[in-house]
A and B are shown apart, each in its own frame.
Chain A
């Protein structure tokens, strides 16, 4: 389970409590909600766009804008258990030697079916595949296999995001090479992810599969990135750098927006209107950049949804998130 832990200090807790007002007041958001707890504070020097350090830190701290974070995460964990109770336990395969280098496969009945690979979020530092199975039934009933990846978190990798990126890439390569073994069509492999998993899905979509894996550049036929990050510079400037050991190399290599030349699959971006300013901007800017580069890109904006409420709706074929994924795979919402 995610926690309120924040290596940079205590303010998170205070702001989180205050953020609770955001839910009460509805769409008015943290601007209003923060008022009582942050008695007129002098804005500091700008560190990113029009934001000072605290505003940027807040914009990379979901709980400030989504006071029901733990409530929704708990629900997704519970709904994942219920999915397993209905569909049965997934098949578990190892894509690497590490304990967490494994993936769960929920298989559909159709033969040679398309496959969707999901990359979970959790600010790069929490989350397990077992708690992100809640959307499996939608995929399986619509005629697709659903793969949920496990991988190490950034606390386990000594702060290195490259290790995580490398793992999810190997996970996808494994699915491509072994698809036939569980009845999947390797030529219809799609990815989706949410939050930091949306970032990693963006990394997957801008991976040089030929050079790095000796695989065709079209390994991935389409991707849906929910509430993701596509340029790491502002994340690096934020308090997330207290636990992610950003380097110039990781910032550059893992900023999908800087590698649009490698983007060959259609990409669909999804975010909610109650997300942090940065988590809205990241998707908007990536979409604009991809479009300017002549790539196939679509955007769905989920009204009155915060970060975690977007995530939860992946399991609903009639939500903008579920719909985006199924439409991209040319499956009917079933």
Chain B
């Protein structure tokens, strides 16, 4: 990526300025040394906006946590067993991993992973499954294409994830799931996709409008305009149509489920604002929505709380499904 050099330098500065403990303010500190350019979004110039859509600037332990997630996922599979891997569509990547609970006719939670729309695979999120499986829910982790393989378009990912949800609804009974108790959880760019899923008009697909009974979207993006203005447009080929169709905040009229949004106080300014603004807009529209703020958590640490039934996200996801940690 074109900005990699700058990012690395600024990150090092940010870290040198006070370590991870103040990483949240690191980028801002580092920026004091340079002249601010013309504003491109709210009070941000280009560099500030680019930083606000670059997680590592604010979360210097990104790689460490990714490594931990992968190691923990290996361990989780050793405990709960390998998932059933099933195709929901014809292409190679259109598959999903089902971690089954023992209960019959159990509720199902479907997870959409993040990775700036570019990275990550379902198998490396198995660490999220155990709290759900032990609490009496099936946990389904989706694979789907990425923006690079999709020629820069976000539409294929959104379309695939919607189709996967439809597949789970139609096939839930085949793995002991209750099609009338489907829930969604997601993180980061997965929550952007999740936003597009919960504001989808399912009737167009001959599916019930309330196919999902609830969703918890962590650390997501719900209006693509600032993202489009950021350096992410180097690899996402944004169009007016894409920005409009895939900005969940502009389709709240179709939102038809209780929504939980969450962000951490050490996330980038934009990743905090996106959730706050979407929350305010949903609330203003008179729809049921809750906002959770993880005090002291950065972007990647937020997801780790989903792997803990007593963590911020894990607790909320189970409660939304009417489950308690004690199975």
A residues adjacent to B (C-beta < 8 A): 16-21, 23-27, 67-72, 74-75, 78, 137-138, 141-142, 274, 303-305, 315-320, 332-334
Question: Could you say which residues of chain B place their CB within 8 Å of the CB of A25?
Answer: 63
| Complexed CA–CA distance, A303 and B78 (Å) | 15
- With A27-B63, A71-B266 known, 5 other A-B pairs at CB within 8 A are A20-B19, A24-B11, A304-B71, A315-B310, A318-B127
Min CB–CB distance A271 → chain B (angstroms): 14
Question: Could you say which residues of chain A place their CB within 8 Å of the CB of B64?
Answer: 23, 26-27, 274, 304
Min CB–CB distance B289 → chain A (angstroms): 21
* A303:B71 contact, CB within 8 angstroms: yes
| Complexed CA–CA distance, A323 and B325 (Å) | 14
Question: Could you say which residues of chain B place their CB within 8 Å of the CB of A305?
Answer: 68
Q: For the complex, is B178 an interface residue (Cβ under 8 Å from A)?
A: no
Question: Could you say which residues of chain B place their CB within 8 Å of the CB of A142?
Answer: 326
* B309:A317 contact, CB within 8 angstroms: yes
* A20:B15 contact, CB within 8 angstroms: yes
Q: Which of A16, A21, A332 has the most CB of B within 10 A?
A: A21
Q: List 11 A-B contacts (CB under 8 A).
A: A17-B16, A18-B16, A20-B20, A21-B15, A67-B15, A75-B295, A75-B297, A303-B68, A315-B311, A316-B311, A317-B309
List the A residue with the shortest CB-CB distance to B308.
A316
* A67:B12 contact, CB within 8 angstroms: no
Min CB–CB distance B257 → chain A (angstroms): 25
Which residues 148-169 in B have Cβ within 8 Å of A in the complex?
none
* B325:A69 contact, CB within 8 angstroms: no
List the B residue with the shortest CB-CB distance to A301.
B71
Interface residues on B, range: 35 or more
Min CB–CB distance B262 → chain A (angstroms): 14
Given contacts A17-B16, A315-B308, A319-B308, are A141 and B21 in contact (CB under 8 A)?
A: no
Question: Could you say which residues of chain A place their CB within 8 Å of the CB of B130?
Answer: 318
| Complexed CA–CA distance, A142 and B68 (Å) | 26
Interface flags, B261-304, vs A, CB<8A=1, else 0: 00000100000000000000000000000000001110000000
Min CB–CB distance A333 → chain B (angstroms): 7
* B308:A318 contact, CB within 8 angstroms: yes
Question: Could you say which residues of chain A place their CB within 8 Å of the CB of B327?
Answer: 332, 334
Q: Which of A24, A69, A70, A334 contacts B15 (CB 8 A)?
A: A24
Question: Could you say which residues of chain A place their CB within 8 Å of the CB of B307?
Answer: 316, 318
Q: Which of A19, A23, A26, A138 contacts B310 (CB 8 A)?
A: A138
List the A residue with the shortest CB-CB distance to B134.
A333
Q: For the complex, is B320 an interface residue (Cβ under 8 Å from A)?
A: no
| Complexed CA–CA distance, A75 and B18 (Å) | 18
* A67:B68 contact, CB within 8 angstroms: no
In the A-B complex, the 10 residue pairs with the closest CB atoms: A20-B19, A26-B63, A304-B68, A75-B296, A303-B71, A334-B326, A20-B15, A68-B20, A316-B308, A24-B60
